[in-house]
Every structure is written in structure tokens, then in C-alpha cells.
Structure 1
Amino acid sequence: AEEAAAAATEEAQSARQVAALVSADAAAEIAATKQRLAQAQAASAAASAAKANAVARCRRVEIATGPPRHWDCVVTASSSASALVATPPNQGLVRLSAQSDPCVWSVLRRMLKTDGTLLGVGRDVRPSRPYSELQLRSAWRIEQPAAWARYRGAGEQVGAEMSQLPSAHKHERGIERVMTREGAAKLPGSLQANVRERVLLHGTTPNSLLSILSNGMNERFSGTRAGTAFGEGLYFAEDAGKCDQYVAPTSKMSDELRQMLYGGPPPPGDLCYLLVCRVVLGQHARTQQQISQGAVEMDTGRPVFPHNIRRELAAIPGVSPPLHYHSLVVELGRSVTRYREFVLFHSERVYPEYLIAYQRV
């Protein structure tokens, strides 16, 4: 009887052990199943969040690259570059006037204000009769959706690069006091602070103007009308007096340009042309020296250009992976005594938004 009881007890213990093992295995399997389910739910949530973020980003890009609301043109297609409506035959030029656009007209007129004693002075100035003032005669807004989308897309790229820069490498020295900032604040459409967007001026001639209106600005033509003392890029100024050195007063232009601008005879007298541009300065380098003087960056003492390259700025020191400066600001000093200059080496970071016709008086 004792042996039978012991055997029964042992059998019961074995049964309990087996049951415990089965229960533990089942519990482990249940826990593993729950973990797999939680991981699947987390992955699904992450995928949904990523999709939502992608949709939101696409929407932001769509809004950013879509034509500004204050434009007169009507765009019914998607804002993607491939679906944008074609630029009108007049290259998207919208004629402005003091009566129909008093605020914009006033801002553009004020942007022509400059120190009259410095007009007509300098080695780059073409000989002409004495004058002391620049007077606005005609103005246009340039509404080109495809070019705008390209410009805003370039701004998105610069913004992404700016976000990668350590805070120690971000500064606005020299560009926080751009002379056009007050006027720019009164123009329709806000400026993008995260990419250091500014409004700057660019003087041109009728011969170049038709190409710019048709194809946009092109840094590859740098040096065809003026020097490239600070690199082979697009040159801008904050003072119309500087731009006035590079224009060509004339009443002559091609029939195509005349029809595009005026639809008939232009106003009497010799006219000069100036573009009011939005530019993405991003993280800029500063210098006071020409290339021939071994241009170095004012804040780091390093060369502004890499090796013998003059079409691209140097990499920002201490940043990895390397990012190049987005623009060059030429400060007053050794090489420049009257007007600062701003140089960009990628034309997609420039959008000519207004065209001004003015007279020297």
C-alpha cells in the first residue's frame, strides 16, 4: 500500500510538472504572439505616420512651389513642374502702374533711390551726360510658374542643407541689414527666413533682357558684360546705384522685346532696365578681396574658392559631410569702397520677380 501511495504521489508530481511545463510553454507562446502583434501594430503605425508625413511634406512642397496668390495668372493644374500651365507668350509679364498697383509702384520707386553724387562714377560706368537721379517709368511683375517652382524647389534643398548645419556655423552677419529689406517687407508675398531669402537688384540691357525673360538668368554667361572679380556667378546689389553701372540707356530694342514689354512704342527717351529679384542666400561667405588678391573668408580666414575653381564656393569648414557656402557677400573694404555686392553661383536660387524701366535725370 505504501509503495502504491508513493507511486501515485510521484505520478501526480510528474503530472504537475508536465502541466507546469505545458503552461509555461503556452504562456511563452502567448507572450511571443502578443509581442509579434505589438511589433506589427507599431510597424503599421510607423508606416501610417511616414505616409502621413510624406503626404504633408508633399502638400507643403506643393504650397511652396505653387504660384503666389497675388499673381494675376490663373493656374488650374497641379503645382508640380510637369503639370504647370505654359508661360504666356508675353513671358508672364504683368504691366503695373501707379493707379492699379500703388503700393508695389511706390516700393519699386523707392528702390531706385540712391546717392546721386555717386551716379555716373566708377570704372564700370559707360560715358553719358551728367545725372543725379533714377526715375521709374514702367514696371512689370514676372509671373512664370515653372521658373517659380524651380526656384522654390532650390530653396527647399538649401533649407534641408541649412537644417544640417550646427548652430555654431549659422550666422546672418552682413545680411541682416540689407538695404532693400524695408521695401521687400511691403511687397506681396513673404520672404523665407530659414533660407535667408532676400530681395536684391540686378542691372541689365535690352540685349540680355529678352534672354532672361525667355530662359531665366544663367551664371554660365558670367563675365560677358562685366568682370568676374569675385567669381563666375550672378552679381546683385542692394543699391540701385551699383546696378546703374551696368545698364545701357537706349530707346532701341528688338521688335520682339518691344512687343513683349509695351505692345507698341515704348515711352519716349532712353530707358534703363533693372530686375528686382528674390534670392536664396542660405549660409553665405564674406570677403573684402578679389580673386586676384587671394580672396579669403572674413570670419574664418580660409580661401573663399576651392583650389582653382571659380564657379563654386568652398565647403563650410568643420561640417561633415561637406556642405558648400550658398552665396558670397562682398563687404566694403579693400576692393569695394561704395557698394556691397552679392554673388550667387546657381541660377535656380534666383527668381526675377519685377522688371523696372527707369530714366536717368
Structure 2
Amino acid sequence: MSLSQFTSPWWLLFLLVVAALVAGYVWVQRQRHKHTLRFTNFALLEKVAPSRPGRIRHIPALLMVLALVFFSVALAGPTEDKRVPRNRATVILVIDVSLSMKATDVEPTRLAAAQDAAKSFADGLTPGINLGLVAFAGTASVLVSPTTNREATKVAIDNLQLSERTATGEAIFTSLQSIETLAAVLGGSDQAPPARIVLLSDGKQTVPENPDDPRGGFTAARQAKEKDVPISTISFGTSYGKVEIEDERIPVPVDDPSLREIASLSGGSFFTASSLEELRDVYDTLEEQIGFETTRGDASRPWLVLGVLSATAGLILALVLRQRLP
């Protein structure tokens, strides 16, 4: 623990006083021992007090010294990192509803599993977070503007409908616009809460084909980085997924590389999930990352408790062993 982790580190200088007290105690004990050896009639002492307190008599003093050490540290104001729920934050949950999401490589289907996990994610977020919902296929739509009303979001998740094509870039641009709208309502970007986009998809962007296009996913991710909005991407599905379209089974493998790149360009995190259980684990991790923040908080209470317990034990032992206070 460094001095920067104390609010009043100068109180640690009191430990020098404690050290001086220990040295004084040792000196007094040695002087007393010398006087005892010089003037005591040992034969008479054995008859009067055959059993004398040994080193155990020093325990009360030792406990009192420990109490002073603990109190000194407590007065110095130690601090520690504490995880506390966020009071304000904005999260846009983005779900891919392209036709590939009806693949059954994830039971019962990719979309059904995504809906189940998304509702659990909504329930698990801390109450102070504004949660919005964006669905995308060939276009992107804000189904629920950022709100603390979880029921509205869960109802919208239940009503997701599949459609053709995949416009990942449009989904990100739409999410950024929703975040900016909330910031304007709250009084400007300077007062806006921190924001993050959580994007779940299974396939490669098809509209436009080039992710570096002005409306492409990579371009949108770079803009998210400029706006300090990290994107956590979730690649959901397997490499062997297939869907049946017009009596033809079409392979729809997940596209990890592009989703990983979007997360990297935006300063976010990339996750993979190939089952409902894995997806729930991913969302649990995101809930911890998004719903809580780390702050420096007071950590003096344990030291105060140790000081009180040590001082109390020292006083009790002094009365029991020596019938007087140290």
C-alpha cells in the first residue's frame, strides 16, 4: 500500500511514537530486572511467591501496542477500490434480426435464444442504467429509446421479427444517434452519462458489402471511438449453421473477424457464444462491466475494528493476569 492510497498519510508518523513507547517499555523491563537481581533475596522470594508471571505478562502491553498501530493506520485514512452500481449510464442493446438468425444450430433457434438471453440481460442491469433497443437487418430501427423501464424493452424483444440482409453499420449509426438524442434531452454532451453499445450478430455485413464504406460497420465503429462509445460485440452461432430459404439450405457461419474488428476499432470487447448458456455468461460479464464502476473509497473501518478488539483484549488480559490495567 503506497502513501497515495491514504487521505492523511502524515498520521503514519505516529507509528514513530508507538516505536518509542515499545523501546521505553523494553528499557523499563530491563531496569526492573536489574534491580530485582541486585536487591532480591531469592530464597525468601521462592517461599513468598513460588510461581511468578512469566513472559505472558507482556501480552497485554503487546496488544495495546498493536491497538495503537491499528488506530494510527485508521487515522491515516486508508482507501481501496470499491465496485459500486452506476447511477447513470446508457446502454444500447443491438440485435441482428436477419434471416440467418433462424438457424437451428443454437436451440431452438439463434433468434429465440438471443431473445431469452437479452431479456435476462435487461433484468440484470443495475436500475440506474438507461437501456435502449435497436434491431437491424437491411435497415436499423430504434424499438425502445434508452429508458429505465425494463418491461418496455422486454416486450419489444419478444416481438422481434426477421427480415432480409444485414446492415451492421446502420445499426451502429442508429445507436449513436439514439445516444446523442438522450444526451440532448439531459442537457448536452458535457452532462451525458457514459454510454456503450452491445451488438449481437451472427453474420457478415451485406449492406453495404464493404465495411469501410461511409455507412459500413468499420466506419461506424471508428465514429463510435471518436464519440467515446465502446462497442461490445457478440458473435452468436456456430460455423456449421444453416437456414432453409425457398427449399434450399444455405450455410450461415458466424463472422468472427468482422465483429472482432468492430470491437477493436471502437475500443470495446469481443465475445463469442455458440449456445444459450454461453450467451448468458457473456451477458453476465457485460452486466458486471457496464453496471458497476470502480471508485476509491474509505477502508479505515477494518483497522478501527482491529484496534478496538486489540485494546479490549489487552485490558481484559491485564485485569485477569495482573489484577490491574497495564
TM-score (norm. length: structure 2): 0.22
Higher normalized contact order (CA 8 Å, seq sep 6+, divided by chain length): 2
Q: Which has the higher helix share?
A: 2
Higher-Rg member (1/2): 2
